[in-house]
Amino acid sequence: MQVLENISLKPYNTFGINARAKFFAELHSDNDIAAFFSSLTPERMPFLILGGGSNILFTKDFEGSVGCIRSKGIVKLMEDDSHVYLKIAAGEVWDDVVKYAVDHGWGGIENLSLIPGNAGTGPVQNIGAYGVELKDVIYSVEVADVIARHYRAFRPADCEFGYRSSIFKKKAKDRFIITGICLKLDKQPVLKLDYGDIRQELKNAGINRPSISAVRDIIIKIRSRKLPDPSILGNAGSFFMNPVISADDFARLIRQFPLMPSFRSGDEIKIPGAWLIEQCGFKGKRFGDAGVHGQQPLVLVNYGSATGAEILALAEKIIGSVNRKFGLRMEKEVNIF
């Protein structure tokens, strides 16, 4: 492992923000991760682990150590009559993992196709899309404990998974380095088709009995149509989470806004944040080089030279507008540094 100093993070975040790291290292193996783990002396703290840099916004330079995990490996640990268990290195590109599972006929993550980022950062956000969340298939999360200086595995109940949240994002975000994950996938996949446009797109394609491969292809098609490619237009995917409210609060809101869309999430109601942002007039708007995507208003974009502070200011403007109009609080999904 080579530690570099004063390195630009622009190539390492999908917003393309030109922040700098005081110390930086690429971590290509478990040995590199262990060396980085050992290098975190007080003068090199705090630390930040990057995967694909797809869910982060830098608003200033990082005055500590940044480790970019590039470790690779997908191994079948075990299987039984119903499930297969895959051990995946943290640096594996997430969509490559989904393709690997689908190509082998193992179900459970096909709805998570084309989500940017790496496998190791998936549990931090509890990534989710089209009615599926990573917590549904996690068997364990392997971590290095920076404080206790040892390695351990978290089972799902330990991870405190929530809506785009986990123990790794909240109360223990400065303690653990995720080194790998283990997924529990289905040998007899049960398809989840009732979210968004999946069924209609399958019907349009003349697919009446879809396979997991067909579902993956359809979701890639939908996401490619709606979401900008970060290699072309800087973005971090959905910048905001959908507001989740009680049924009573929704009943009051729907009387005032009868066209408000919604969908049930357990005993609560989710309101599509994209609709709220569009109703406030931000869809497709541009403020200098910071803007709101014209197809998916949950996505904020960098048209070229926007700073992280400018994108954050736009986010705060949107949050304030939605709150004033609807009395709802839009929470940021992206991690702000």
Q: Which residues are catalytic?
A: 164, 238, 333
Looking at residue 329, its amino acid is: R
Q: How far apart are CA 89 and CA 101, in angstroms?
A: 14
- Residue 127's contacts (CB-CB under 8 Å, 6 or more residues apart) are 94, 112, 115, 117, 133, 134, 164
Closest to 65 in 3D by CA, of 26, 34, 31, 118: 26
Which two structure tokens, joined as six digits, stand for 74?
A: 């997908």
Closest to 31 in 3D by CA, of 124, 123, 144: 144
- Residue 328's contacts (CB-CB under 8 Å, 6 or more residues apart) are 243, 245, 253, 271, 276, 322
Q: How far apart are CA 4 and CA 2, in angstroms?
A: 6
Q: How far apart are CA 19 and CA 166, in angstroms?
A: 26
